[in-house]
Amino acid sequence: MSSISGIDQDGDGRGLCLTDWDADGDLDAWVSNRTAPTIQVFENRWGSQAGDFIALTLQGTRANRDAAGARVTLLLKGQEQAPLTRTVHLGEGFQSQSSKRLHFGLGKNTTISSVTVRWPGPTHATETFSGVEINKFHLLVEGSGQARVLQPRGAKFVTPENAVVKPEERIKRPESSNSILLPTRQLFPKLHYRDLATGKTMIGATSGKPTLLLLWHPSCAMCFEELSMFTGEADKIRSLGIEILATTAEPAEDEDPDDAARIISRTGFPFTVGFTAGEVVERMLVLHRHLFYSPYHLSVPTSFLLDKDGRMAAIYRGAIDLKEVAEHLKALAIPDEELLSRIRPFEGSRFEPPMGPRPSVLIKTYVENQMPDEAERVFIASIENESVRDQSNEIMATLGQSYFLQKKFAEAKALFEQVVKRDPRDAKSRNTLAAICLKDGNMAEAKRLWREASDLEEDFSAPRFNLGKQLMKEQRTAEAMILFLEYWVLEPDSPDAHNYLSMGYLRGREFAKAEMHLKRLIELRPDDGIAYTNLAKVYLALRNVAAARDIITRGLQIEGIDPRSRQALQQLGERL
């Protein structure tokens, strides 16, 4: 649509407003951009060539004066089954406000059948207006029923001669590679790949030299040309002192697994070739989106220049220019603290110091994408960065929790042990570390940590519940009940609180208290078969046979009861 209209631009557009600026019967466009020029106006020169129109300005009397929310329905003769509707909006799109005047494009040779307005509150009345004329501007006042023709003053479009950009002055699009030398460097994901020649799993970018990573695919014609170019320029490339690694995704089920080997054989590519798993590519995508706020997919060929420490220094989209690579290799000698000032996309002077990289944001992004191992690599590499250093304990706890959710308990434990050691007041990390110790079989340490967590935060319910469960298993019911009562105060609507309290009271033969908690448990968890069974037993112990029979009947009527509980209820019923 924008290409046909002539308003397709290279700028990064944000807002769009439509209004008949020159009052000639067609809508003109105002565009706001994040890039320069920040405001653009586009004159619509179709006018009457596109057909007829009507324009309506609404004014409320009982409704709000701007008539915000009013809806106009226009019927054309012979087209009554295809109504045209417009609504008065205050704000449209991103930070944009089009004209409140409603514009209807009618096509050619049409006749108006009716114009109806449904006004907003308080009346929400529907009103039909007469006197609406084609190719005119009108004012519709609520309650009048009669349109009034207006003569709006149209603005003029005047383009200063010095504002016209001559074709030779326009910035040319890149004809070959689209390369970016980064003013900040971020640690690249660990490059696990399956070597094409040996079939072994390897890790790339670990030689201590810069690495040029090529992403390609056997079906890509440009990739074939690029691999062939590398073959022809092999001596020059080796003289640059860099490692070359060409990787393609592991073949899908519908792809020939030998395609890659055939392409490499045909091109004679003399450098390392491997296959990357989907999870490795996903990690590259996360970093790519973090740096460029750009698409979810990488086109091929795409290449990355990594420095000797495995950090991304440059990216190449499309065919590679080896002269650019050579220049970028020289830039690897620039110290990190000088990168932002020496690698600049535009000339000029800074009024404020440049903002450095924020590794903490990349760590957060990896965690959100369930990649705690990559997040931890970035954390370790960026530990002295101020965005990381000032919240290192919180980051380690977040990483540990992410590992824990993935059931990678050894990695989680190592992080939580550091957090607990560094922060004696962190109750939540103690609670999680206790759960990991329990899985390791270290019961004493788990209980110690749960007690510490409970003492540190009076309103932290989880460690009380966890420790109480363990004490119940050890038949230390009195100690457990103290914890479960504290848990119940903090979580009064927790089914688990009522469940364990009822178990404790049953052990102590306090049937009245057990009854109270079992009844509440059934309210909160109506398909809990054990609760029905235990409550029936309570009633039998209290010699209330009628109540026992009633709760057994209720339990057997619940569809979600587990088979074992259903069988127990049936057996109790038969005994009665």
pLDDT of 175 reads 52
311 touches 324 (CB < 8 A): no
> Where does residue 247 rank: exposed (0-12), middle (13-18), buried (19+ CB within 10 A)?
buried
pLDDT of 174 reads 47
Contacting residues for 383 by C-beta, under 8 A, at least 6 apart: 389, 392
- Number of Cα atoms under 13 Å in the Cβ half of residue 557: 6
pLDDT of 1 reads 47
131 touches 141 (CB < 8 A): no
Q: Which of 111, 116, 122, 106 is nearest to 61 (CA)?
A: 122
Chain centroid offset of residue 15 CA? 22
- Number of Cα atoms under 13 Å in the Cβ half of residue 124: 0
Q: How many residues does the chain have?
A: 576
What residues does each domain of the chain span?
A: 2-150, 178-334, 424-474, 492-576
Instruction: Give, in order, the Cα–Cα distances in Å from 4 to each of 1, 8, 125, 168.
Output: 5, 8, 41, 23
pLDDT of 93 reads 82
406 touches 370 (CB < 8 A): yes
Domain 492-576 fold is 1.25.40
Domain 178-334 fold is Glutaredoxin (3.40.30)
Per-residue pLDDT of the chain (576 residues; tens, 9 = 90+): 455 566 677 778 888 999 999 999 999 999 898 887 788 888 888 776 778 999 999 999 999 999 999 999 999 999 999 999 999 998 888 888 899 999 999 988 899 999 999 999 999 999 999 999 999 999 999 999 999 999 998 888 877 665 565 666 554 554 545 889 998 898 999 999 999 999 999 999 999 999 999 999 999 999 999 999 999 999 999 999 999 999 999 998 989 999 999 999 999 999 999 999 999 999 999 999 888 876 667 889 999 999 999 999 999 988 899 999 999 999 999 998 888 878 866 566 666 766 666 899 999 999 999 999 999 999 999 998 888 998 999 999 999 999 999 999 999 999 999 999 999 899 999 999 999 999 999 999 999 999 999 999 999 999 999 999 999 999 999 999 999 999 999 999 999 999 999 999 999 999 999 999 999 999 999 999 999 999 999 999 999 999 999 999 999 999 889 999 999 999 998 888
* Interstrand relation of 137-141 and 52-59 (parallel, antiparallel or unpaired): parallel
The pTM of this model reads 0.66
pLDDT of 94 reads 84
What distance in Å separates the CA atoms of residue 275 and residue 379, rounded to the nearest whole number? 27
Partners of residue 140 on adjacent β-strands: 58
pLDDT of 128 reads 97
153 DSSP 8-state letter: P
Q: In what order do the strands lie in the sheet with 201-204?
A: 178-187, 311-317, 302-306, 211-215, 243-249, 272-276, 191-195, 201-204
What distance in Å separates the CA atoms of residue 447 and residue 424, rounded to the nearest whole number? 16
pLDDT of 37 reads 79
What are all long-range contacts of 196-204, with beta carbons under 8 Å and residues at least 24 apart?
196/260, 196/261, 196/264, 196/273, 196/274, 196/275, 197/273, 202/274, 204/243, 204/245, 204/247, 204/272, 204/274
pLDDT of 11 reads 75
314 touches 185 (CB < 8 A): no
Q: Tokens at residue 272, please? A: 């390392």
pLDDT of 354 reads 66
Q: Which of 500, 512, 565 is nearest to 539 (CA)?
A: 512
Contacting residues for 387 by C-beta, under 8 A, at least 6 apart: 358, 359, 360, 361
The beta strand positions in 250-291, using DSSP E, are 272-276
Domain 424-474 fold is 1.25.40
- Please determine whether the domains at 178-334 and 424-474 fall in the same fold group of CATH: no
Q: Which of 323, 179, 195, 192 is nearest to 271 (CA)?
A: 195
